[in-house]
Structures are given as structure tokens and as C-alpha cells.
Amino acid sequence: MSVLTHQTISHLAAEHGFSAAYCFMPETEDHAPEEVRTLVLLTRAYAPGGWLVDHFYPCSNAAYHQAKRMGERLAAEYGLRVWSLGNLRLKPMCRRLSAFGTGLNTLNYLPEIGSRFCMELLGLSEPIEPTPMIPYSRELLPCAECKRCMTACPTGAITEAGFIKERCIRFHMMNGKPMPEDMRPFIGASNGAKGILGCDLCQRACPANARSEKEYDTADDFTLVELLTCEKEALSRVSDLYGKNYAIRNRILAQAILAAAHAEGELGDQLEALKASPSPAVAEHAAWVLGKMKK
């Protein structure tokens, strides 16, 4: 057994900006590398909000970088092998950890924080005693009699029979393809999905998020015009704030165009120019929004 304890891991996690750390044994279904003896699930809470980009994304990107730093520190100070495993499926792990609840909307919940947190995962080459956990109280998540997330979802992704990924607006955002037409009106609409990235309607409706909902703030890191232009400087900031996977010009443009349908101000000339884009998603979205504006 290493000198490292779950308490030490929790202290280190707090130093790297995480709300909590949970050490537990890997299971085959986790698909961690064979040499991993302990998994460390790190959570980081955030205040909800954003009109263009959901506040989850900067939190998640910061957590990714901080988890890497924490892993490097663990390797250097304790002589362990450490793997960054945030790409594994974390939701099934949460379902077997008693500290977490799972909502009808398929999201993971923690007391106090609700569903407003992001997660990272480290694998360690040493066994560590698991973190003791206080079981999540079912009373905090009254799904059986609530169903508010199901009603709040505008596209019918949450059903009694389960979650339909293809009906979730988020699934179709920033994927480089034209968005299904019936979902486009919700992009950037008040009480709709975000303009560029994220849709949190099923979280906003949830009584378990009532506390964080009071902190809701629509502020964004970018203006819509900056994203509709999407110059090099803006792309570089997108990469720094949300991660380089999101800094893809045509994908941002395709989304920003749909958000422009709900924006104030004259954006018609910019949209006309984008109608001639070689990207099918950009051109199709521009033509669709212009068609709506003319009606």
C-alpha cells in the first residue's frame, strides 16, 4: 500500500481547484489500462449560465488542464505511474459510487451542487484505500413524481423509456453537419438551447438544481458578432477557454448563424456572405436563417 491516502488525494485535488476527489477500485467495465490499481474521480462545481456557450465548457477545460497538472505532481512526488482517463465513460462509474445520484435526464448529481459540475479521471498505479462516501439521498432527486426535465426538453429526448440521444439538441451542435430543421428554432432562443455550445434546459428545470439556479448568469466570453466573424484571435481564445477541439471555424460559424436568428441588430449582410460558404452546414444554416428573416 502506498503512503498516499485518499485524504492526501483530496487535499491535492482541492489545491488544483476541484470540489472533491473519490478514490475507488477499477472494474473491467471501466476499460482502464490493466496496470491501474486506483481510479480517482475529480469533480469541479461551476455557476450555471451563458447565452452562447454554457458555463460547463470553460469549467471542463480548466478541469482537464488541472487534472493533468495534478497527475504530473502525483507522479513526481510519489513516484507513481499516472494516467489521464477523462475520456473513459464516467457516468457508469458514478452510478456505482454511492455519493452520486442519477436523474431521469441521465445526469449525475451531488448534494448541494446538483448536476452543475464537471468531472475528470486519473488512474494510479498504486492501490489506495477507497474514499468513504455518504450515500446520495433519494429524497434530493424525486424523479418518480417530478418529470420536469421531460416536460422542459423541447425536442422529446427524455422519455419514460429512456434517453434518446438523437433527439437531444446538444448531440447536433458543433458536429460540422447541418442541424435537423425542427431543432434550429431553439438555438439561442430565450428559454432555448445555447447559441453555440450546450443546452441546459433539463438542468434548469430540475428541483435538485434550485440552489445553483439562483446564481444563473447569462454573461459570455464572446459577442455573437465575434463568433460570426470568427477571426484568428477569436479562434485562439476559443481554444484557450474551451479546448482546441472546439476551435474549428466552420463549426462555430454554423452555430453562430442559427443563434443570429434570435439576435438583435442587423446581421443580414454577414449572413448573405456566409450563404456562399463551401461548408454545407454554414451555407445551409445561413440560407435557412435568411429565409426566416424574410418571412
- The residues of the shown chain that bind ligand SF4, judged by CB under 6 A, are 103-105, 141-143, 146-149, 152-153, 155, 157-158, 168-170, 193, 199, 201-202, 205-208
Distance in Å, CB of 111 to ligand SF4, minimum: 13
CB of 13 to ligand SF4, least distance (A): 26
Q: Which grid cell sits at 156? A: 422529446
Instruction: Specify the length of the chain in residues.
Output: 295
CA–CA separation, 104 and 152 (whole Å): 12
The one-letter amino acid at 287? A
Question: Between residues 122 and 179, which has the closer beta carbon with respect to ligand SF4?
Answer: 179
Q: Tell me the closest approach of the beta carbon of residue 238 to ligand SF4, in angstroms.
A: 21
Q: Give 88 or 143: the residue with its C-beta nearer to ligand SF4.
A: 143
Q: Which residue is nearest to ligand SF4 (CB)?
A: 103
Closer residue to ligand SF4, CB minimum distance, 34 or 160 = 160
Minimum Å gap between C-beta 272 and ligand SF4 is: 30
> Please, what is the minimum distance in Å from the beta carbon of residue 123 to ligand SF4?
29
Buried b (16+ CB within 10 A) or exposed e, 200-219: bbbbbbbebbeebbeeeeee
For residue 101 the three cell numbers come to 445520484
Using an 8 Å Cβ cutoff, are 228 and 270 in contact? yes
Q: Least separation, in Å, of the C-beta of 168 and ligand SF4?
A: 3
160 vs 264 by CB, closer to ligand SF4: 160
Q: Give the pairing type, strands 101-102 and 82-84.
A: unpaired
**Which residue lies nearer to ligand SF4 by CB, 164 or 241?**
164
- DSSP class of residue 167 equals G
Distances (CA, A) of 24 to 117, 130, 146: 19, 5, 32
The secondary element (H helix, E strand) that includes residue 122 is strand 117-124
Closest contact distance (angstroms) between CB of 205 and ligand SF4 is 5
What strand order describes the sheet that includes 20-24?
20-24, 38-45, 117-124, 82-84
Nearer residue to ligand SF4 within complex by CB, 45 or 146 = 146
Fill in the amino acid letter for 11.
Answer: H
Closer residue to ligand SF4 (CB): 111 or 130: 111
Pull the grid cell for residue 167: 433527439
Contact 75, 67 (CB under 8 A): no
Q: How far is the CB of 21 from ligand SF4 (least distance, A)?
A: 25
Q: What is the DSSP letter of 126?
A: S
Cβ nearer to ligand SF4, comparing 10 with 209? 209
